[in-house]
Amino acid sequence: MLRLVNLRDLSPVTELRVPVLVIGSGVAGLSAALEAANRFEVLLLTKAEAGESNTSWAQGGVAAVFSPKDSVASHVQDTLHCGRGLCHEEVVRAVVKAGRGAIERLIEWGGSFDRLSSGELRLGMEGGHTAERIIHAGGDATGNELQSVLLRRVAGNPRIRLMEHTIVLDLVVHENRVLGAIGHHDNRYLLVRAAAVICATGGCGQVFRESTNPEIATGDGLALLARAGVILRGMEFVQFHPTTLYIAGSSRMLISEAVRGEGGILRDKNGVAFMEGLHPRKELAARDFVSRAVLQRIVETGHTNVYLDVRHLPPEFIRSRFPQIDRVCRNFGLDITRDPIPVAPAAHYMIGGAVVDIDGRTNLRRLFAVGEVSCTGLHGANRLASNSLLEGLVLGVRVGHAAAECASLEESEGFHLPETRAPTRWQDPHFSSKDLCNSMKSLMWRHVGILRDGTGLAEADRRLESWQTLADSVCRNRPREWEIRNMLLVSRLITAAACARSESRGVHFRTDFPQEDARSCEDLEVWLNDENGIDIRWVPIRAGIGSGDGSELVCGGSGE
């Protein structure tokens, strides 16, 4: 199995030994580090600056039950229904039940959330939810507030050492145990020996041409886990957000689900409110349904985008509720109180990831994963809006506690670096890693995007394997080229899973198999074999998922 670097050739190298290593500084990684630091010293590594993560970009809120008109049972049911039969109900119940406590803890730590004049938390509505339970901060800056609160706690904790601008390349594995990790920091390799390792590196949205994710979301964690021998689940399930800003010269900034939750209307270039009649909940249908509807309307009208219209809402309310969106749009000469917002779908969230239990344990000893890089079964085939920040807060604490328990039983130990297969590199003056990356992104968007079919997936699989072989031979030991190799591997894993699931379920839509198939209501797991190929197996979902007899939720139905 190929590694990013030959571990025997590390030079120059800095060596560290710690009880607990945490990789990633989003809400899940920070929560895990804080909990583990209650017992042990923690080293926290992050690829960019600590404040730069998918968490900090999150405009949406945190879903938690606070309203007397809401209930844990209702939130659980909404999550199960959105997950189309692939949610693991015990995980859903545990996470939802702990949601209120997680928010109250943040408030104790100084978190500031939007409130009504009465002082009560202001609760919003988003797609897929049947009750107002979405908590926001700063209107559309919830992720930034969560990140700020947690980073302040980390900065004030003497047991946590934070190292920024450190990319983790590979895990050190021996006899099914993870002994540490290899990173790169300040032009030196970093060898960390750890008793427990937590991977919380986030998602991989940058493998697609259109993405709401920051540039750092290159799937590094998914790739290093796969290379280490970790089993991955649900890699076919990539959630696409239906509304991202579509203006020439702008990044594909997310236009929050909450805009539709507050009454925003989707219109085509002719002003037609096209969600009318397509779904009973119109703009508040689940994201996969809305994304496909938006894409279909774009094709039908021959226009580059559709529009999100909030002009019927009070201008003062819009500006105070969505200050970030208002500010960015104004920079491009757009007044959202008078002009409809041009939007189009983009890749948003990786539902799949490392197979873990509710405490984040992987199939390798001493290795844990949490957040977007993991797959607990909470989201099933389609993530319910605002459940991801909730997952990071709740399960981050559980995983941090479990890793500390592991560190109390194990010790960071000395070891000889294992033999690895490193590619033979050759230089080609005509090779362009930038061109390869752009080609990969376009291929993934075209064939492994919102709409998929067997022919396109087979073509993508063939090209990606060829490109990965090329990149492994040509790419040099530079951070950007390490990222490109990671993205190619993750793209292969997504494509292989999408090829294998010959049905449509949740965010995975096959135009050649447009219906849910009761026989395919199983988890799909993938992993790298010793020849660098991809192996696949199906794992049955336990009976009893859903409400009542569970038949509609477990085995399909029309869904959203």
Return the active site residues: 287
Contacts of residue 187, defined as CB under 8 A and 6 or more positions apart, other chains included, come to none
As a whole number of angstroms, the distance between CA 387 and CA 372 comes to: 11
Burial of 128 (0-12, 13-18, 19+ CB in 10 A): buried
CB atoms inside a 10 Å sphere around CB 269:
16
CA 401 – CA 407 distance, rounded (Å):
10
Per-residue tokens: 209:
């041409």
* Cα–Cα distance for residue pair 546/531, rounded to 1 Å: 40
Take residue 135 and report the two structure tokens written for it: 């908590």
**Residue entry with tokens 């994201």:** 287
CB-based contact 343:246 (threshold 8 Å): yes
What's the rounded Cα separation, in Å, for the pair 560 and 293? 11
* DSSP bridge partners of 537: 525
Q: Are 286 and 82 in contact (CB under 8 A)?
A: yes
Q: Which helix (H) or strand (E) holds 441?
A: helix 433-447
Beta bridge partners, 224, equal none
Rg (CA), the chain: 22
* Nearest in space to 205 (alpha carbons), one of 220, 187, 183, 226: 220
Q: Helix %, strand %, coil % for the chain, to 5?
A: 35, 20, 45
Token pair listed for 533: 């190929």
Phi-psi region of 548 (alpha: psi -120 to 50; beta: other; left: phi over 0): left
